[in-house]
């Protein structure tokens, strides 16, 4: 059975918006290796409509250079897009999942049951919050950067309380903390 793993670059003050404006000074080989280990476990990818729109325009056209390896992976891997407004998904190996909350949650449970390995997500704070509220998120991986951005969307804004348990951690030389959490409800049985 597959597991949904959500990955974020996040600032000390909880900002996840526009990491391209503050994340890159902290990116190094150590962080790249950790991200690479996560990508190696991914057998599918989950995204919201906005991320789909951005990535579907960029990644199919990347065939050489530094981006070629990830482009090859992301173009070939099964992708699932959650959207109430998208009418078709044209990026290869992409399945659109839409409907009311119950229908989408039921379809994602089917996807998890049919998938071996990890179903990765990158960003998509709204989607991550929804997955957590639906009991569908298995792991939340936060790369906490030693910077207070001061503005932008935070991962948790106006949300109910969610108890999480630390299941892994690593400190990079750059000061970035790689923290892995699991929702407590996932382990209760």
For residue 189, pLDDT over 80 is answered with: no
pLDDT at residue 170 tops 50: yes
Q: Across 42-163, where does the E strand assignment appear?
A: 42-48, 79-82, 94-97, 118-122, 139-145
Q: How many CB atoms neighbour CB 133 within 10 A?
A: 14
- Please give the structure tokens belonging to residue 105: 């949650």
CA distances from 28 to 25, 35, 169 (A): 8, 11, 17
- CATH of the domain spanning 3-187: 3.40.430.10
Q: 30: which 2 tokens?
A: 């150590």
Cβ contacts of residue 12 below 8 Å, gap of 6+?
Answer: 144, 145, 146, 147, 148
Q: What is the pLDDT of residue 17?
A: 93
Lookup: tokens for 157: 């804004």
Count the alpha carbons within 13 Å of 101 in the hemisphere toward its beta carbon.
8
Rounded to whole angstroms, what are the CA distances from 147 to 9, 14, 43, 144? 11, 10, 32, 9
Cα–Cα dist 147/122, whole Å: 20
pLDDT at 185: 61
The band of 161, judged by pLDDT with boundaries at 50, 70 and 90, is confident
Note the pTM of the prediction, 2 decimals.
0.90
């Amino acid at each position: 059975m597959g597991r949904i793993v959500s990955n974020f670059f996040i600032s000390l003050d909880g900002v996840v918006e526009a990491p391209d404006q503050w994340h890159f000074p902290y990116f190094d080989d150590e962080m790249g290796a950790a991200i690479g280990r996560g990508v190696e476990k991914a057998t599918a990818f989950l995204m919201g409509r906005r991320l789909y729109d951005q990535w579907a325009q960029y990644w199919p056209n990347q065939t050489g250079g530094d981006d070629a390896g990830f482009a090859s992976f992301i173009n070939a891997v099964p992708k699932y897009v959650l959207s109430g407004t998208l009418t078709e998904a044209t990026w290869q190996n992409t399945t659109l999942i839409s409907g009311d909350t119950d229908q989408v949650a039921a379809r994602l449970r089917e996807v998890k049951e049919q998938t071996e390995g990890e179903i990765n997500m990158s960003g998509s704070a709204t989607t991550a919050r929804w997955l957590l509220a639906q009991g569908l998120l298995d792991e939340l991986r936060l790369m906490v950067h030693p910077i207070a951005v001061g503005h932008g969307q935070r991962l948790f804004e106006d949300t109910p309380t969610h108890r999480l348990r630390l299941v892994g951690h690593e400190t990079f030389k750059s000061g970035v903390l790689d923290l892995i959490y699991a929702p407590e409800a996932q382990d209760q049985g």
